[in-house]
Amino acid sequence: MNHFEYRDGVLCCEGVRLSDIAEAVGTPVYVYSTATLERHYDVFKSAFAPRDVLVAFAVKANANIAVLATLARKGAGADTVSAGEIERALRAGVPASRIIFSGVGKTAGELAFAVKAGVHQINVESIAELETLSQCAATLGARPAIAIRVNPDVGAGGHDKISTGRSDAKFGVSVDQALALYTRAHADPNLAAKGLAVHIGSQIRQLDPLEAAFRTLRGMAEQLRAQGISVERLDLGGGLGVPYFHEPDPPTPTAYAAMVNRVFDGLDIALAFEPGRMIAGNAGVLLSRVIRVQERAERPILVLDAGMNDLIRPAIYDAYHDIKPLSQAQSAPLQKYDVVGPICETGDTFTRNRALPPLGPGDLVAFMTAGAYGAVMASTYNARALVPEVLVAGDKYEIVRRRWTLEDQLALEHKPSWLSAP
């Protein structure tokens, strides 16, 4: 469920007409719903009750400080993959004690930053990383809590490029390596070995691969405990899919949690999750205006003012986003369009042959389910302004990232002395 609905034929976010935001802020613009963010967090968290689990929102899905602060106020943690994301989470009010630091390419500097910040857990993905972290901890006189990220060799996810749990993916270490690595970490006086972590992919629409990965983790925890090695925590990652309207619905958080509770029944262990898309996906839309309609023999092309630089998912994952007009046309017959942006690449095509109500120059549309991996993946390609973001709460809204203009971009650049006029 989300809070984007037509009221009297006008698409609204909570109590605000999206067309009002488009007029005031301009397009393209991302708009997020506080109520939907909060609802998704609550639904996910409460699905596990009475088990108290750590829900660490995957910052990579939506890193806006206002979104993070909204979730922090609910008690969410943060799953981070760079010093920048840790810093964002901290500034948004997520306590370090709820921050998980994951990722294959943490630099020594980033590891030191995380150790100094006192994060809840660092998910280690290789022997080499474990060694760097151990040295870093010794230098800092700290004893960071770590988990070993396991690659369970389970394929899952909505697209090849977002599947992370197969043995040929770059993430984590094999089960055997992970057991050896954990044993080694446990014996390391500089490290507090706490648990195991797994994340097998994103936009996962079946529970089976997740269940297989979780069973592997349980087996490993039991095996280690049988050897007298303590394992206090399991981090089960993110990955639960969201409805994109053209695909069969993914499992509900309730069904997901029931599976988790079944797998870990009778095991006394703390559980953490790293959902990103499930929390933020349907909590955001991208608003865009039709620049013009280009007539063609086959079917017309709708040229929008949003491009692949603003929403890249269709270009790189062939992702589907529902497109809704901001004003609901009264019983007009649908018309087939190709929908494109202004970027000079054929890849800047959001969709082909999509049935939409008739649209013309100046009309406003919303790309639905754009709250996750939307604004965070935006760029200034083609010297376009970086897309702004707006957060709605009830009948209020505020710009939470202003449009980053060409002047802002140029302020970071420099014409070298030998090219400047004397």
Q: Alpha-carbon dihedral of residues 394, 85, 375, 162, nearest 10 degrees?
A: -120
Query: Does position 40 bind ligand LLP by CB under 6 A?
Result: no
**Nearest by Cα to 246 from 342, 301, 323:** 323
Stretch that binds ligand LLP, among 68-76, 85-93, 276-284, 285-293 (CB under 6 A): 276-284
Stretch that binds ligand LLP, among 29-37, 58-66, 297-305, 402-410 (CB under 6 A): 58-66
Cα distance between residue 171 and residue 123, in whole Å = 11
Considering only residues 201 to 230 of the shown chain, the ones binding ligand LLP according to CB under 6 A are 202-203
Query: Does position 275 bind ligand LLP by CB under 6 A?
Result: yes
Number of residues forming the site for ligand LLP (CB under 6 A):
23
Stretch that binds ligand LLP, among 105-113, 132-140, 233-241, 253-261 (CB under 6 A): 233-241
Q: Please, are residues 195 and 239 in contact by the beta-carbon 8 Å criterion?
A: no
Query: Does position 102 bind ligand LLP by CB under 6 A?
Result: yes
3-state secondary structure of 335: strand
Query: Does position 373 bind ligand LLP by CB under 6 A?
Result: yes
Query: Does position 239 bind ligand LLP by CB under 6 A?
Result: yes
Q: Please, are residues 345 and 420 in contact by the beta-carbon 8 Å criterion?
A: no
3-state secondary structure of 83: helix
**Residue placing its CB nearer to ligand LLP in the complex, 218 or 313:** 313
**Residue placing its CB nearer to ligand LLP in the complex, 101 or 182:** 101
**What would the 3-class secondary structure string for 190-207 be?**
CCEEEEEECCCECCECCH
Angle in degrees, CA 45, 50, 51, rounded to 5? 70
Query: Does position 58 bind ligand LLP by CB under 6 A?
Result: yes
Least distance CB 173 / ligand LLP (angstroms):
14
Cα distance between residue 42 and residue 55, in whole Å = 10
Considering only residues 76 to 95 of the shown chain, the ones binding ligand LLP according to CB under 6 A are 79
**Residue placing its CB nearer to ligand LLP in the complex, 12 or 217:** 217
Tokens, residue 41: 């967090």
Q: Please, are residues 280 and 37 in contact by the beta-carbon 8 Å criterion?
A: yes
Binding stretches for ligand LLP (CB under 6 A):
58, 60-61, 79, 102, 162, 164, 199, 202-203, 237-240, 274-278, 313, 317, 372-373
